Amino acid sequence: MKRFWSTPEFTLRQKRRRRKFDRRRHHAQKRQTALRKRPTRLRSTRFRQQELSLPAPKTLSLFGEPDETLKYCNTLRYYLNQPGMKIFLDLGNVQHFTSDALLLIRAIMDSRAHHTQIGGNLPQDPTVASEFKASGFFDGFDKPPDDLPPAKGLILKKSNYTVRAKVAAELVDFAKEHVPITRECTNACFQTLVEVMTNTHNHAGDRKPVRHQKQRFPQKWFVSVYCRDQTAYFSFIDLGIGILNSAPAKNMLQRVGASLSSYGRTSLLKDAFKGNIGSATGKPGRGLGLPKMKLDAKEGMLSDLQVLTSDVVGSVADLGFRAVDHSLRGTTFRWCARPKESSND
């Protein structure tokens, strides 16, 4: 039933409404006054980069000090994939380095996801600094040091699947100009370079589903030669899936009904160089590249051939592999070429 208000009741009701409205307006004015008194923060229109210094260990060597070197390189790789970073490579305390570590640093720098500014310094030891500058590490930099000596090293990279025999020949010729290596050793180095490029072409590319098909993205590989003390040091790196995660390795684990952890990473890598894994194509005569590399290393044509893939590292000639604490996403090969009469280590 509809309520009929008397004149006094209606007047009292309107007063209560007015008081409630005044209280709400008073509190709103107080809030607005407080907001106006709060200091405003000026927003910069420029993009501010976060600066980070990464001090390097005393020894940069993937096979001499794999744990410390991998830890440093993985840290660098992590921050290079973060947007808004400005990284300084503090190399002042480096007392010893090998060309494979420098090649991995270059590979990580050239494979970064963002256009990150990278700076750095040279080792404090003058001898180490001069060798560092002569290694070819700064070739291709926008602002290399001014006093670069004649290069003792050559670093090349490719970002497609094509196996470049011309690149392999260029590296071998560079080594022959500085070290009088034999023809057998030259042929073995050339064949090994082509083989590791082929492995990258067949196995190292990342695959990503695109609707109803799988598309493999181009995988970069990096290769270098560094000549010092009558020795040519060859290094090859791809940042792909690695030998232990390749299709032939997974097919073998599926055949024996074992997982990678139960079968053992070192055991699986030994099988790869023994030729027990085979190839992804299944065709006769394929999958023999790694066993051929082992044979050449055992006969001395690929002196001190070593491999690092995932978290397994070791010598190929005697299959002396061991696990390390840190992991590399990809595969690294390193070997030496010396004159036949040379006995340098």
In the chain, where are the structural domains located?
A: 49-144, 152-345
More confident residue, 321 or 18: 321
More confident residue, 79 or 156: 79
Predicted local distance difference test score (pLDDT) of residue 121: 86
Residue 169 pLDDT exceeds 70: yes
Pick the CATH number of 152-345 from 3.40.50.720, 3.30.565.10, 2.40.30.10, 3.40.50.2000: 3.30.565.10
Pick the CATH number of 49-144 from 2.30.30, 3.30.750, 1.10.10, 2.60.40: 3.30.750
What is the C-alpha separation between 317 and 112, in angstroms, rounded? 34
Q: What is the pTM of this model?
A: 0.76
Residue 165 pLDDT exceeds 60: yes
Degrees, nearest 5: CA angle 286-221-64: 95
From start to end of 22-116, where are the E strands? 50-55, 59-60, 85-90, 96-97
Q: What is the pLDDT of residues 92-147, one digit of tens each?
A: 999 999 999 999 998 888 877 777 788 888 899 999 888 888 888 877 666 667 77
As a residue count, the chain comes to 345
What is the C-alpha separation between 238 and 199, in angstroms, rounded? 10
Predicted local distance difference test score (pLDDT) of residue 284: 44
Predicted local distance difference test score (pLDDT) of residue 214: 47
Residue 271 pLDDT exceeds 60: yes
Q: What is the pLDDT of residues 180-204, one digit of tens each?
A: 988 889 999 999 988 888 766 555 4
What distances in angstroms separate CA 248 from CA 212, 239, 245, 275, 276, one per listed residue? 23, 18, 8, 11, 10
Residue 63 pLDDT exceeds 90: yes
Looking at the DSSP bridge assignments, the partners of residue 225 are 154, 234
Predicted local distance difference test score (pLDDT) of residue 216: 46
